[in-house]
Amino acid sequence: MFDIGVNLTSTQFASDRQKVVKRARDAGVTGMLITGTNALESQQAQRLAEAQPDFCWSTAGVHPHHASEWSVEIASTLRRLAEKPEVVAIGECGLDFNRNLSAHEQQEYAFDAQLALAAELNMPVFLHCREAHERFAAVLGPWLPKLPGAVIHCFTGTREELEACLAMGLSVGITGWVCDERRGLELRELLPLIPADRLLLETDAPYLLPRDMRPRPTSRRNEPCFLPHIVNQVATWRGENAEELAVRIDQNARTLFRLV
């Protein structure tokens, strides 16, 4: 089972990153994608991935929260990182109209610039969309024919938004959000709609600790070693065998990020 979303650069992992990776391996995780969310963290993610060959890879990008930082220099940094064998996708990039930490115009500009970079380099993209589906689709759509692949990470949208993403050919990343009995029920009902070859799973660690884990972890920090719980729950709600799903999501990730 492959975890496509791990924020291993987070300061929450500062004291035990190597142990976090070991626990993931011991839990049966077969690969991890370390998320880059700005220029500095993208560089850190690449170095962390480089230290775990054939188990960790990374993305290079600017999250919409950091879109106001976009510059020619940052674009050059991402381009240099993309030459590294560990860096397998451009992102996390997209739009976030929920927190609006960068202006909408800045977000759209940085998103479009990263899609252009991915198209130029023939790299898949790791996407973020929150409360911005219409503009997200409008910016992304023209680039899709020029991209080798794309995944919408941590999908939490509506049925209509899911159907639109699938129609655009996107893969869909599902996190432990779906395990939340307060806000994940609608998403849970949508799981069977995702084609088997387009489903990816992720922890988004250290965030989004699954609320239905029993016994509950003593810390609220999520870890990639909890991915098996998400796999088991998603398999149950999709009416599938968990072991077969674990193999399938590993295959899907390796195909999308061209690790095979």
* Binding-site annotation: residue ranges for a divalent metal cation: 92, 128, 153, 204
* Structure tokens belonging to residue 103: 């202006």
Tell whether omega for the bond before 85 is within 30 degrees of 0, i.e. cis.
no
Inter-helix orientation angle 227-238/242-256, to 10°: 110
For 75-143, give the DSSP string.
HHHHHHHHTSTTEEEEEEEEEETTT-SS-HHHHHHHHHHHHHHHHHHT--EEEEEES-HHHHHHHHGGG
Radius of gyration, alpha carbons of the chain: 17
Q: Count CB neighbours of 64 within 10 A.
A: 29
In this structure, are residues 1 and 249 in contact, taking their beta carbons and an 8 Å threshold? Answer: yes
The binding site comprises 92, 128, 153, 204
Q: Which spans in the chain are helix H? A: 17-26, 39-50, 72-82, 104-121, 133-140, 159-167, 185-190, 227-238, 242-256
Using alpha carbons, select from 59, 64, 40 the residue that is nearest to residue 49.
Answer: 59
| Amino acid identity, position 196 | A
